[in-house]
């Protein structure tokens, strides 16, 4: 992503470790003798084996499918006016595995949107590339930072609900 580096993993790790009963182990290679994370993130047996070997109660995988800025027509009264909107969007999937019971507890898609700009145009304009819909680089960074915070709020709420706060 050209406008900012994603900090979603860092924000979620910070949020989860606020609970003193939670210990977070990232899948990134470390100086220790931890095995490498499975290449096939969709193979349940490989994930369960890796999580058991690392030593945990739950294994959480989050896959971000897209993190992008889009422009779309959100409202239209034909032959009168159109409303265009620039949105920041993050879509992905979260999976939670119970390593002790060796099963998938939950798997859900998630998506968050945050509006950046809106513009009403008369019918004859209908221009998705209107300069009023553009966002400068600094604002894009702030927009995606706010969006990532919303995603972390949503994901941490789901994780807490699925694990019953453990």
CB-based contacts of 149, cutoff 8 Å, min separation 6: 11
Q: Tell whether 131 is covered by a domain.
A: yes
Q: Tell whether 98 is covered by a domain.
A: yes
Tell me the CATH number at 157. Answer: 3.30.160
pLDDT at position 1 = 44
Q: Tell whether 63 is covered by a domain.
A: yes
Q: What's the predicted TM-score (pTM) here? A: 0.78
Show the domain range for 18.
Answer: 8-163
Q: Tell whether 1 is covered by a domain.
A: no
The pLDDT tens digits for 38-75 are 888 888 888 898 888 888 888 999 999 988 888 877 77
Q: Tell whether 148 is covered by a domain.
A: yes
Q: Does the pLDDT at position 123 exceed 70? A: no
Q: Tell whether 156 is covered by a domain.
A: yes
The pLDDT tens digits for 140-162 are 888 888 999 999 999 999 998 88
**CA-based nearest residue to 66, from 150, 157, 133, 144:** 144
Q: Tell whether 155 is covered by a domain.
A: yes
Q: How many domains does the chain have?
A: 1
């Amino acid at each position: 992503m050209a406008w900012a580096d994603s900090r979603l993993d860092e924000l979620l790790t910070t949020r989860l470790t606020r609970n003193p009963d939670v210990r977070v182990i990232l899948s990134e290679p470390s100086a220790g003798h931890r095995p490498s994370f499975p290449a096939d993130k969709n193979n349940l047996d490989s994930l369960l084996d890796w999580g058991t070997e690392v030593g945990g109660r739950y294994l959480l995988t989050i896959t971000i499918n897209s993190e992008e800025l889009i422009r779309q027509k959100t409202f239209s009264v034909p032959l009168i006016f159109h409303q265009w909107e620039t949105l920041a969007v993050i879509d992905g999937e979260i999976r939670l595995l119970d390593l002790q019971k060796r099963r998938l507890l939950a798997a859900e898609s998630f998506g968050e949107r945050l509006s950046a700009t809106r513009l009403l145009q008369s019918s004859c304009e209908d221009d998705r590339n209107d300069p009023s819909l553009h966002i400068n680089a600094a604002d894009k960074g702030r927009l995606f930072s706010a969006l990532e915070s919303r995603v972390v709020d949503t994901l941490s709420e789901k994780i807490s609900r699925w694990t019953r706060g453990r």
